[in-house]
Structure 1
Amino acid sequence: MNKYFHELVQDLDNNISELNSELGNTVVFYETVINITLAKLREIKEFVLQKGFLSLEEEIEFFKRMKPLVVSKLIYYNGIYKIEAKRPYGGDKIIKKYLDNELNKLKRFFDNNLEFYKYYRTNSTYLDHKYFVRGNHDIKLSLDTYYFESDQNFSTSHDFKISKIIANDLIQIYIEDQLYTSKRAFKTTISKNLNWTGSKTALTELIYALHAHGVVDSGNIDIKILAKSLEQLFNIDLGDIYHTFFEIRNRKIKRTKFLDSLNESLTKKMDEQNEK
């Protein structure tokens, strides 16, 4: 059993690797992997139903360790396929909200199966004879409806749940990587493409005006945090903004010189467009 199974899994992994090199992480890739994994799973099922198990220990080992290796791949690639197929169009905020919602689905599964997670991850064995032996289920052990609809000649009460745990761990890594990549790309774009080309004093004047008017977080943001955010946005170091603002306050003429110039520039642009 061990030799046959590990050769089959190795062959499946090789096929997936070749497809990934050929197709990349595309929807077509995920569809193809799902189909070849289903085919391998049918092979395994046929082998098990024909050969059976030599002992109870071998049966437990198969449903606890072996079968979940293949089924988890099916769940994982199907999960990623659905995430990518349903991914909305839009900006970073829309994508982040969508991916965060997918993470919340994984968390709900974890919360609903916390006791079994503990059992599995602590390598406990005292309930293996109920969890991983066919026809030996216990209705009191939080069985999923899926189990009653499955082929019980090739399923136990909890082998699918282990597959789900393995797959969810991988899906979580995938989603978090997507979030990190998106965030990093967004920051890189900002740092490369936006540079403040006015004076530091002008930007400090703008920061204090935004803060005084309460238009950022309803005014509930510390002036230093606001300044740091705009420093990062415009790729500039403003230095001591408190000292700069002190100099602005003590101007003898036009204390809001930059804001006045903004008003003049915008008014002029609007007047020019009205004349066209």
Structure 2
Amino acid sequence: MKLFSESLMTELEAQLKTIHSETEEPMLYAEQAIKILIPSFEKLKTEFLKYTFEKKAEEINFFREIKPQFAAKLIYYNEIYNIETGKPFGIKKTIRKHYNTELIKLQTFFKENAEFYKYFKTGNQSLDNKYFIRGKHDLRHTLDSFYFQADQRFSTTHDYKVARILANDKIKTYLENEISKLEQKPNNVNTTNTKTQKWTGSKVALIELIYALHTEGVFNNGTSELKEVTSFFESTFNVDLGQFNRTFLEIRSRKSERTKFLNTLKEKLILRMDDADEN
């Protein structure tokens, strides 16, 4: 079981790495990650149900160390997707409040499970026979309602808590990084002797243009993050693009002319060139 799990995790990690290399948008990479994590988790469960443990220690190791690693990834990406799709439109202050609310939820979970958190993090194993062996539920220990809904052939009372702890650590880091980015001041742009230019086209059109330019890698040799580029355009043109990643999802969902603005730019530029040729 251990070898199968390690092989499955290696394969999964490679797939996740590919997803992150293709897009920096949280909603997009979270959505794609969930699509590969669910079948991967099902493979783990199918193999597990066919396997017979020779020793209790092997079963404990599976539910304390192996399964939570897979479950934590699914929890993490699902939470990132929910956090980003639930992110409000508005100024940075509004978005920062949204992220802080999510941090408070993590703190609440920690407080409610402080005893087990300490048990797990310190490497204590004295109660592993109760926490990580199937069919050993004890109502005197704090149990998640999730446990009673789960397939108890593939669950113990505390393997989900471990997965939640692992996921929460990553979610906390993600939220803190996003808040830090919001608090960063944009680089000053030298506007000496230049007239301020204000974007008077639609925000959707500007977002389509930004995605195209970022995809081509024309900023800092392709090393700039999409959010950095978007912030630059917002600052330069004094425009608030709100949840630009959600707008991009809407652009992707167009039934015809997904690159409507880019197509218009191309057509009008060609017409301008043709007119110049005739004069």
TM-score w.r.t. the length of structure 2 is 0.66
Mapped contact 2:41–2:71 kept (Cα < 8 A): yes
Deviations 1:103-136 (A, max 9, x none): 0000000010000001001100010000000001
Comparing 25-34 with 49-58, greater Cα deviation is found at 25-34
Distance 2:190 2:57 in 1: 62
Which residue matches 2:27?
A: 27
Distance 2:63 2:180 in 1: 35
Within a 5 Å distance, the mapping from 1:190-205 to structure 2 comes to none
Distance 1:171 1:26 in 2: 12
Which residue matches 2:274?
A: none
- For residues 88 and 151 of structure 1, do their structure 2 counterparts lie closer, same or farther at Cα, with a shift above 3 Å needed? same
Comparing 131-140 with 16-25, greater Cα deviation is found at 16-25
Which residue matches 2:186?
A: 188
Which residue matches 2:127?
A: 127
| Letter aligned with residue 186 of structure 2 | T
Q: CA deviation at 1:47?
A: 0.6
Larger radius of gyration: 1
- For residues 93 and 194 of structure 1, do their structure 2 counterparts lie closer, same or farther at Cα, with a shift above 3 Å needed? farther
Which residue matches 2:44?
A: 44
Which residue matches 1:56?
A: 56
- For residues 194 and 68 of structure 1, do their structure 2 counterparts lie closer, same or farther at Cα, with a shift above 3 Å needed? farther
Question: Does 2:168 align with 1:168?
Answer: yes
| Letter aligned with residue 109 of structure 2 | F
Q: CA deviation at 1:51?
A: 1.2
Distance 1:26 1:110 in 2: 24
| Letter aligned with residue 122 of structure 1 | T
Deviations 1:9-55 (A, max 9, x none): 01001001111212333423211211211111111111111012121
Within a 5 Å distance, the mapping from 1:84-233 to structure 2 comes to 84-184=84-184, 187-189=185-187
Distance 2:92 2:22 in 1: 29
Distance 1:166 1:172 in 2: 10
Runs of 4+ aligned structure 1 residues displaced above 3 Å come to 191-195
Q: CA deviation at 1:175?
A: 0.3
% identical equivalent positions: 40
- For residues 193 and 173 of structure 1, do their structure 2 counterparts lie closer, same or farther at Cα, with a shift above 3 Å needed? farther
Identify the structure with bigger relative contact order (alpha carbons < 8 Å, sequence gap 6+): 2
Distance 2:79 2:189 in 1: 35
Deviations 1:241-268 (A, max 9, x none): xxxxxxxxxxxxxxxxxxxxxxxxxxxx
Partner secondary structure for residue 138 of structure 1: coil
| Letter aligned with residue 49 of structure 1 | L
Mapped contact 2:26–2:80 kept (Cα < 8 A): no
| Letter aligned with residue 99 of structure 2 | L
Which residue matches 1:79?
A: 79
| Letter aligned with residue 87 of structure 1 | K
Unaligned runs of 5+ in 2: 193-279
Q: CA deviation at 1:84?
A: 0.7
Q: How many residues align?
A: 192
Q: CA deviation at 1:140?
A: 0.6
Unaligned runs of 5+ in 1: 196-276
- For residues 138 and 14 of structure 1, do their structure 2 counterparts lie closer, same or farther at Cα, with a shift above 3 Å needed? same
Distance 1:147 1:7 in 2: 27
| Letter aligned with residue 114 of structure 1 | A
Q: Which has the higher helix share?
A: 1
Alignment RMSD (CA, Å): 1.6
Distance 1:85 1:9 in 2: 27
Q: CA deviation at 1:194?
A: 10
Partner secondary structure for residue 108 of structure 2: helix
| Letter aligned with residue 48 of structure 1 | F
